[in-house]
Structures are given as C-alpha cells and as structure tokens.
C-alpha cells in the first residue's frame, strides 16, 4: 500500500443552516482518533488545526438566505486551503456542514486546472445539494455546494468559480431527498444520480466502479464528499437532516474500500457531523472508520484466498 501524507483541515463551518452544532465536528473526529487511525495504516498525518472564515461583513439575515456573508468568508478561505494542501498531500476536511464544500471543491478544481487534469466529484449524500441561493426553499446554503461548483448562476457576492466542475464529472450516490427545484435542474443536467432504489436493485459497487473507470481513463483527480446523512440514521444519528433508508455500514465501507483500491481519491470532505446529536460518539467513530477504509484499512492484510 502506498503511504500518503494526510493533511487534516479543521473546518468548523456552521453557517450553512440554522441548527447549530457542526462547529464541534472537527474536535469530535480528533477525539474519535482520526489521526491515530490513519497513522496505523502507515500514512503520515499533519493536523493543521481549525481554520476561521476570512473576514466578512456581518450578516443581516435577510430572511431568505441564512448567514450568506459568513459562508462567503469560509468559501474563499477553504478554497485556498484546498489548493495549498493539494501541493503537498491529501487534504481531509473535517467539517463542518456541507457548505464547506463550496470552498473545498472550488479549490480542488483550481488545483486540478493548474495540473492540467480534470476534477471529478463523488457526492455521497441523501441530498443532491444542487440548489442556488435563489432556488432554495430553506435558505440554507449547505443545500447549494453542487450548484456552486458546477457553475450555476445566482451566487452573487461569492468568489467567482474559476474552474467549474463539468456536470458529467459529478456522480451522486445515496439520494433519497430531492427538492422540486433541484429535480428540475437535474433533469437538464448531465450529473449522474443514483438513488437508493437504484442501489437496492443493483448494488452500490456497479455505479461506483463505472464512475471510477471514467476518472481513471481521463487521468482525473477525484474529490470525495461524504455527508453523514448518506448513512442510515440508525447507524449515524448525529446529523440535523436525517433521512430514513440510507446506506448501511457495509455499503458505506464497501464504497470506501473500492475507493482505496482504485488509488484515485485525491481529496476528501467529512461533513455534517453534529456531535450535539450523537450517541456517545458512535457517528464520529463510524465516520473515522470509513475514512480509514478509504485510506487502506481492510480486514485482511493480503487478499483472501478462496477454498480450493
């Protein structure tokens, strides 16, 4: 297994929705032992601590979009952090709510463009997060990152997206809650969407492997964004937007194990963990275990042999 330099980036973003708590996420991952888990796999780990948003005007909360200015401050800060970290290793963003991915993905896209490689995004989530601030019913910006980094219009005052991720490079797995405006916009887009019914009928490995083949063929970089609510709430209760019927522990590990074996993942977000809603750290521990699977943990050190 090739060892990697993992850069843990604390992103205590809590501005993407009204319910507070994701700001405690980075420390919950640390408490759950994320650094030791990755080191035990032979990786080097550098924890750069928690970042803060760039200074921004105070939010007046217009009643439509919640904490827009703070989220703008985070977006530019995290885009720069992603670009810097990709110079020397594999950034792992410890969220923080999903609005952090406006920055982490935009930064990864800027880095990929400098390298002359396309960026691909794997979105593991119950939601598509494909709103713009104008289409959002809730006004919560954690529902908008995919809209932003694919270059949809309506993100006034946000940093310009210099390298929008082409829609055909985005693959979503785990979907089971899509708003009408998102559904209409997705119908006009070439984003690949795999809802839970598709997974129930066909399994989770097929769509993932097909996407990874596409990434490999294009010599692409791959950003993976893992939302806690991708998982079923019975195993991952610590998230404000639970939707029943999510991925099982085994399905989620399988995704992460396949990702590791592909050797394609170049950056990772762990988002939406709200430790205030957790049960004795079980969701934080599961997310750390999934991260470890994505970085090479397996049941056997060697491929298992079948009986002859």
Burial of 265 per CB tally in 10 Å (0-12, 13-18, 19+):
buried
Q: Pick the stretch among 126-134, 215-223, 256-264, 280-288 that binds ligand ARG (CB under 6 A).
A: 126-134
Q: Which lies closer to Mn ion via its Cβ, residue 4 or residue 140?
A: 140
Residue 229 · residue 124 · CB < 8 Å: no
Q: Which of residues 248-287 bind ligand ARG (CB under 6 A)?
A: 272
Burial of 9 per CB tally in 10 Å (0-12, 13-18, 19+):
buried
Catalytic residue among 56, 98, 223, 253: 98
Residue 254 · residue 204 · CB < 8 Å: yes
Q: Could you tell me the two tokens for 39? A: 């080191």
Active site residue 272: yes
Q: Which lies closer to ligand ARG via its Cβ, residue 165 or residue 228?
A: 228
Q: Is 140 in the site for ligand ARG (CB under 6 A)?
A: yes
Q: Which of 14, 70, 227, 289 binds ligand ARG (CB under 6 A)?
A: 227
Work out the end-to-end distance of the chain between its first and last CA atoms, rounded to an integer number of angstroms: 27
Note the Cα 67 to chain centre separation in Å: 21
Chosen from Mn ion, ligand ARG, none, partner binding at 138 (C-beta under 5 to 8 Å by type) = ligand ARG
Q: Pick the stretch among 19-27, 124-132, 244-252, 274-282 that binds Mn ion (CB under 5 A).
A: 124-132
Q: Which lies closer to ligand ARG via its Cβ, residue 142 or residue 192?
A: 142
- Angle at CA 145, nearest 5°, toward 99 and 121? 115
Active site residue 83: no
Active site residue 84: no
Q: Give me the residue label for tokens 């997060």.
A: 129
Q: Is 227 in the site for Mn ion (CB under 5 A)?
A: yes
Instruction: Tell me how far apart the alpha carbons of residues 6 and 85 are, in angstroms, rounded to a whole number.
Output: 9
Residues that bind ligand ARG (CB under 6 A): 98, 127, 129, 131, 136, 138, 140, 142-143, 179, 227, 229, 241, 272
Question: Any idea which residues carry the catalytic annotation?
Answer: 98, 125, 127, 129, 142, 227, 229, 272
């Amino acid at each position: 297994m090739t060892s990697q330099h993992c850069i843990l980036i604390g992103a205590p973003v809590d501005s993407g929705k009204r319910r507070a708590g994701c700001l405690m996420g980075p420390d919950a991952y640390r408490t759950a032992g994320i650094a030791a888990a990755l080191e035990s796999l032979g990786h080097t780990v550098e924890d750069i601590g928690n970042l803060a948003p760039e200074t921004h005007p105070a939010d007046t909360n217009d009643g439509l979009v919640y904490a827009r200015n703070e989220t703008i401050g985070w977006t530019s800060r995290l885009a720069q952090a992603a670009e810097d970290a990709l110079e020397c290793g594999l950034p792992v963003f410890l969220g923080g709510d999903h609005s952090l991915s406006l920055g982490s993905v935009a930064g990864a896209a800027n880095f990929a463009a400098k390298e002359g490689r396309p960026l691909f995004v794997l979105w593991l989530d119950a939601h598509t997060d494909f709103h713009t601030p104008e289409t959002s019913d809730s006004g919560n910006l954690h529902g908008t990152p995919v809209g932003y980094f694919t270059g949809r219009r309506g993100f006034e005052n946000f940093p310009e997206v210099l390298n929008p991720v082409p829609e055909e490079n985005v693959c979503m797995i785990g979907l089971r809650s899509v708003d009408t405006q998102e559904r209409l916009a997705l119908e006009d887009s070439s984003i690949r969407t795999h809802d839970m019914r598709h997974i129930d009928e066909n399994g989770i490995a097929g769509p993932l492997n097909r996407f990874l083949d596409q990434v490999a063929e294009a010599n692409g970089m791959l950003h993976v964004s893992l939302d806690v609510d991708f998982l079923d709430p019975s195993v991952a209760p610590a998230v404000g937007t639970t939707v029943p019927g999510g991925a099982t522990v085994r399905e989620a590990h399988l995704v992460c194990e396949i990702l590791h074996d592909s050797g394609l993942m170049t950056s990772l977000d762990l988002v939406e963990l709200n430790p205030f809603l957790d049960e004795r750290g079980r969701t934080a521990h599961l997310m750390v275990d999934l991260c470890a699977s994505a970085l090479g943990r397996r049941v056997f050190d060697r491929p298992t042999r079948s009986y002859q």
